[in-house]
Structure 1
């Protein structure tokens, strides 16, 4: 991928990733005060990467940022520890990598990542691989995220 094209894509994607991270952090604070089924986000970003990757895929599709796939890696095969993120060519988008605090990773990774390159890929799938019930559940979650900060990004994007 040409450097200018790569830089332009990363520049376009980074604010979306940051806004999504911000929305999940706000959402986490709300679910801590509720008895909602979204309690799984209580410890965001810990153990949320699967669901967050699906949400990112849906958000990117809604914003016409196609071509991303969910990548799943088995970090510690004997323990069954996995990690997920989305990726398009060399552009990694991961807003939950900081759950691995011993790695010193940023809360928002957009671009090439040596850490991600070092992980063994277990599975890759795209939006077309989501079933209808996944789409329904995650569309609902994405709508909640828009209410918790992602809409601020959308409003700013239209002003630019």
Structure 2
């Protein structure tokens, strides 16, 4: 949108086991195999805060993947935190997309 990069999908999945106490869900954005995740560091097996890459090992560990259209400008929730994060990463996303 802002970076003239339409077509991203909101992707979510789960991993782990409820009985083992390791079950978790996660969500990120994808377009044509490019993963954009701004909250990756919440997992102990990932040290990076932001991931912008294809073939992400972290994201391939999730199952029961759900995909839906994503559009920042159509969201109706509280924009305070989202706007702050969006401003921080939009340049990185644009540069990664150009290089890809």
2:11 alignment counterpart: 71
Q: Which protein is bigger by CA-based radius of gyration?
A: 1
1:92 alignment counterpart: 35
Q: RMSD over aligned Cα, in angstroms? A: 3.2
Taking the TM superposition and a 5 Å limit, the aligned residue runs for 1:81-160 are 81-100=24-43, 102-112=44-54, 113-127=56-70, 135-138=75-78, 140-141=79-80, 144-145=83-84, 150=87
Q: Render the CA deviation track for 1:82-125: whole Å, top value 9, x for unaligned.
A: 0000011210001111111x203311100121221232143111
Under a length normalisation based on structure 1, what TM-score does the superposition of the two structures give?
Answer: 0.43
Note the residue ranges of structure 2 that are not aligned, 5 or more in a row: 95-100
Q: Aligned in 2, Cα 1:62/1:81: closer, same or farther, shift over 3 Å? A: same
Contact 2:13 2:26 in 1 (8 A): yes
Q: Aligned in 2, Cα 1:94/1:144: closer, same or farther, shift over 3 Å? A: closer
Q: Render the CA deviation track for 1:65-95: whole Å, top value 9, x for unaligned.
A: 1111111011235265200000112100011
Distance 1:142 1:126 in 2: 21
Contact 2:11 2:29 in 1 (8 A): yes
Contact 1:71 1:121 in 2 (8 A): no
Shift in Å, 1:144: 4.6
Distance 1:117 1:127 in 2: 20
Tell me the number of residue pairs that the alignment of Structure 1 and Structure 2 aligns. 86
Whose strand fraction is larger, Structure 1's or Structure 2's?
2
Under a length normalisation based on structure 2, what TM-score does the superposition of the two structures give?
Answer: 0.64
Note the residue ranges of structure 1 that are not aligned, 5 or more in a row: 1-60
